[in-house]
Amino acid sequence: MNKVVKRVLTISIILLVFSALAWPKVKPLISSPSNDLSENESVQQNLLNVEGVVMEYEQLEDKIFTTGTVQANEVVDLRSEIAGKITDILFEEGRAAEQGQLLVKINDSELQAQRRRAQFQLNLAEQREQRQERLLERGGISQEEYDATVNEVNVLISELDLIDAQIDKTEIRAPFEGMIGLKFVSTGSLISSDTHIATLNDIDPVKIDFSIPERYFTRVHVGDKIQFTVQGNDSTFVGEVYAIEPRIDAQTRTLQIRALSSNPDGILVPGAFANIELILESVDDALMLPAIAVIPELNRQKVFRYENGSVTQVDVTTGIRTDRAVRVIDGVALGDTILTTGLLQAREGMGVQLTNVRKSSER
């Protein structure tokens, strides 16, 4: 038994000695790969983690937000030129009327009687003028007598024209095509030139009246587009500026503008309140950066561009700003990757690790 124990102890001592002698040669083989991995991880951990955006073209609209009022294209209060009694009302409230359509007829019986009398007198004078013309050819009357008869004919023609003009005033016709509002008179009513009969509105197209601050005076032009909404309707309507007041309002320091918008369905009602967007400029190939990516410095602005694992400092020229982005006019090209984080730590030529990239239009 003692011999067996001695043999086991001897073998154990030999193995320990062998292991001690072999460990220096085996250790490099075992430890080398793990050391390399930890060194790479250490390098990566030392790189600055950043995020960026890839520049792409966007459509940009420079807008002014304001308010205005919808107005009828044409509007007129229907009134009579003369006093009299209404004999006929030939329109329906809230209905369309054609241009020239007879709307109201005022009693003209007296004028018609005057016209018939003037017509009889004219007929008699014309017959007398024809007889005297034959007598003048034969020398039966003087030239003076004939001229007096011709003058009488002309006077009666003028008198007849005057009566016709007065009769025309007893007929109220639609001056243009439009929609008639509520009537305020009835058949048999005695009216004067001050009596409001009804209102005629041309509502296709409609006018949009609004104003903008005077600092935009040089930037707005005839033909500029607008978008607007009205209360009670979720649709967005479009229009076009067609007239600009040539002077600034001295009290409000604003510029008055008028636009036209088509209204074939009659959805837009005169007098409605409108929220308006006036488009001053539209660009189809704008490069827009998140505002946070642009670093302002004395007399310049800069961004950091990502190139092959490092950053490059680039001076830029900016333009229109929105609430979250700014247009870059010069210094950045389509496809560039611009840093949006780590801007305080980034330096020219510094190595960085890009952890998240998105398109510049994704906000």
pLDDT tens for 20-39 read: 555 555 454 444 444 444 44
| Residue whose structure tokens are 């009666």 | 156
- Res. 322 pLDDT band, cuts 50 70 90: confident
Rounded to the nearest 5 percent, the helix, strand and coil shares of the chain are: 30, 40, 30
**Distance of alpha carbon 168 from alpha carbon 361, whole angstroms:** 66
| Residue whose structure tokens are 């009246």 | 209
Are residues 318 and 297 in contact, defined by beta-carbon separation less than 8 angstroms?
no
Which DSSP symbol is given to 81? S
CATH topology of domain 80-106+170-196: OB fold (Dihydrolipoamide Acetyltransferase, E2P) (2.40.50)
Nearest to 49 by CA among 361, 341, 347, 253: 341
**Distance of alpha carbon 121 from alpha carbon 111, whole angstroms:** 15
CATH topology of domain 66-71+204-283: Elongation Factor Tu (Ef-tu); domain 3 (2.40.30)
pLDDT tens for 181-239 read: 999 999 999 999 999 999 999 999 999 999 999 999 999 999 999 999 999 888 999 99
The reported pLDDT for the residue numbered 26 is 46
Are residues 268 and 206 in contact, defined by beta-carbon separation less than 8 angstroms?
yes
- Res. 285 pLDDT band, cuts 50 70 90: confident
Amino acid (1-letter code) at residue 109 = S
The reported pLDDT for the residue numbered 90 is 94
Alpha carbon dihedral 94, 95, 97, 103, in 10-degree steps, equals -70
Nearest to 330 by CA among 300, 359, 310, 307: 300
For residue 1, the cross-strand partners are none
Give the count of beta carbons closer than 10 Å to the beta carbon of residue 268: 25
**Distance of alpha carbon 279 from alpha carbon 11, whole angstroms:** 95
Nearest to 350 by CA among 42, 54, 49: 49
**Does the N-terminal peptide bond of residue 270 adopt cis geometry, omega within 30 degrees of 0?**
no
CB-based burial, 215-250: b 16+ in 10 Å, e otherwise: eeeeebeeebbbbbebeeeeeebebebeebeeeeee
Helix (H/G/I), strand (E/B), else coil: 175 = coil
CATH entry 2.40.50 includes domain 108-169: no
pLDDT tens for 139-197 read: 888 889 889 999 999 999 999 999 999 999 999 999 999 999 999 999 999 999 999 99
Nearest to 288 by CA among 65, 59, 38: 59
**Domain map (residue ranges) of the chain:** 49-58+284-359, 66-71+204-283, 80-106+170-196, 108-169
- In this prediction, residues 51-80 reach a mean pLDDT of 92
The more confident residue out of 103 and 61 is: 103
User: Residue length, the chain?
Assistant: 363
Q: Which CATH number fits domain 49-58+284-359: 3.40.50.2000, 3.40.800.10, 2.40.420.20, 3.30.160.100?
A: 2.40.420.20
Rounded to the nearest integer, the mean pLDDT of the chain is 87
The reported pLDDT for the residue numbered 65 is 92
